[in-house]
Structure 1
Amino acid sequence: MIAKLNNWRGSPRKFVKYLRAVQNKKALDVVNKLKFVVSPYAEALRKLLLSAISNAANDPKINLDNLIVKEASVGRGPFLKRVTYRGRGRVGRVTKPLSNVYVLLKEGNNG
């Protein structure tokens, strides 16, 4: 089952360490462990995994206890462009990145 999170306000570079930690693990175990991680990235990933699990619950052939995170990836979204004021009447550009996150769950026996 697939779940996507588009244009989430956060850097894709900071998201990668959470995505690498959850790949090839049982989905329900990962959701329970992410409850205790104090990070907005972990909270967004936990909600995304819950969405993917609920998508899988609609298919009666799939056993939810055997779901594993087969693939988790992040891509660059658009940037919010802002200005900051510098000395001597100049301005600088500040870019605030957005992320597109993708999670794929498959039925398997890994854990």
Structure 2
Amino acid sequence: MTNPSQTPRPAKTPARSSARNDLDRIEATGNPWWAQAPSVAMTCLTVTVIPLKLLALAADTAVSVCFLAVFGSVGLWYIGYIPDQTVAEVLGSVGQRLLGILEGTGLL
């Protein structure tokens, strides 16, 4: 067994100044702070645009549901699940509303 007092100790390195430590840390990053500016700008733009994307997604979903409702109703009427009398009443009321709007604007 070796005596612990006989094992060689590593040589002490001189204390480095704080300024040199900061310089080493900055050099270790590999690029200056302004090199990240395009990435930061793109991230800010993405965060700003997210609400608009969500609004567009909600509007797209609403249009899809309306499309499905209209063509689903036409399909159910064609198959016979919705009687002709009900379709005539609904279309008549829609026609009356459109006629009222046109008369109110003075086009007719």
The TM-score, its normalising length taken from structure 2, stands at 0.23
Higher RCO, 1 vs 2 (CA within 8 Å, ≥6 residues apart): 1
- The structure number with the bigger radius of gyration is 2
User: More helix by proportion, 1 or 2?
Assistant: 2
Q: When you count strand as a share of all residues, which structure comes out higher?
A: 1
